[in-house]
Amino acid sequence: MSKHSLVGRAFTYAFPLAAPIGLSFVALGLALGMYAISQGLPLWMPILMASLIYAGAMEFITVGLLLSPFDPLGALVLTLMVNGRHIFYGVSILERYQHLGWKRLPLIGGLVDESFAINVSVSLPDDVDEGWFYLHVTWLLYLSWIFGVLMGSLLATALAGCNMHGIEFVLAALFISIFVDMMRSNRTNKRFQFGAMGFLVSLVALVFLGPKSFALPAIFLMVAYCFVAYKWGGVHID
């Protein structure tokens, strides 16, 4: 099969898998662009963040960091807490990418939750080149995100006089929907145990520490709980 045929065949297989997630990226990107502009950032800033950071939750947080007093250490710790899971993504997917030559760099740079989920879980037919498939999934999702942020930024600029108070809640709503879906679809799975415990720990931390200070302690407690459950409790997520 020629190179052109390999690329085309991989694209036709990747597009139906990436397109639905790409649409959700556009919707969330719209919200990020509108939120960033509503907070007073210039038009180019959210587009640059989307292109270079490419981490949805962290970009929402970055808007707040850019408007807060300079605190590089706090920003570093927060970034590691929010996106530290990518370390484990990279380790687990290394074997799939190590023989792909030049494609490894864009695949590593474009690694997000959704591209990881698709590329790890998919079973490819023999006539679909895995390297080109992974690359198509990665760039489709990447461009979908940038397009959404661009459209949101332009829309917010055009609607500069409108009240956009509360639009930042879209990210919290996204995570709530993901959490609820996980709990509903894993009632008999051990993931349910971790999800329920995460909710309980967060609620207790919120009550005792308040809304401004509960997040990091809750994350540390959950990491400790997961480690103990895995190491000595015999709990494994398969």
Query: Which pLDDT tens digit goes with each residue over 117-163?
Result: 888 878 888 888 889 999 999 999 999 999 999 999 998 888 766 66
Among 36-45, 99-108, 119-128, where is mean pLDDT lowest? 119-128
Confidence of residue 24 (pLDDT cuts 50, 70, 90): confident
190 plus 77 within the same structural domain: no
d(Cα 16, Cα 121) in Å, to the nearest integer?
15
pLDDT at 161: 63
Q: How many residues does the chain have?
A: 238
More confident residue, 169 or 201: 201
* Summary mean pLDDT of the chain: 81
104 plus 221 within the same structural domain: no
74: CB partners within 8 A, 6+ apart: none
Asked if the structure places residue 211 within a domain, the reply is: yes
Asked if the structure places residue 165 within a domain, the reply is: no
More confident residue, 6 or 32: 32
Asked if the structure places residue 112 within a domain, the reply is: yes
pLDDT at 201: 85
14 plus 85 within the same structural domain: yes
Asked if the structure places residue 164 within a domain, the reply is: no
pLDDT at 162: 67
124 plus 220 within the same structural domain: no
**What's the total number of domains in the chain?**
2
Confidence of residue 224 (pLDDT cuts 50, 70, 90): confident
The mean per-residue pLDDT over the stretch 32-39 comes to 88
List the domain range (segments joined by +) for residue 140: 3-158
Asked if the structure places residue 176 within a domain, the reply is: no
23 plus 74 within the same structural domain: yes
Asked if the structure places residue 27 within a domain, the reply is: yes
More confident residue, 231 or 29: 29
Question: DSSP states of the chain as a string?
Answer: --HHHHHHHHHHHHHHHHHHHHHHHHHHHHHHHHHHHHTT--THHHHHHHHHT--HHHHHHHHHHHTS---HHHHHHHHHHHHTHHHHHHHHHHHHHTTSGGGHHHHHHT--HHHHHHHHH----TTS-HHHHHHHHHHHHHHHHHHHHHHHHHHHHHTTTS--TTTTHHHHHHHHHHHHHHHHH-TTSHHHHHHHHHHHHHHHHHHHH-TTTSHHHHHHHHHHHHHHHHHTS-----
pLDDT at 15: 93
Asked if the structure places residue 238 within a domain, the reply is: no
136 plus 206 within the same structural domain: no
112 plus 190 within the same structural domain: no
pLDDT at 74: 79
191 plus 154 within the same structural domain: no
Query: Residue 14: is its pLDDT beyond 60?
Result: yes
pLDDT at 174: 63
Query: Residue 76: is its pLDDT beyond 80?
Result: yes
The mean per-residue pLDDT over the stretch 78-89 comes to 77
Query: Residue 214: is its pLDDT beyond 60?
Result: yes
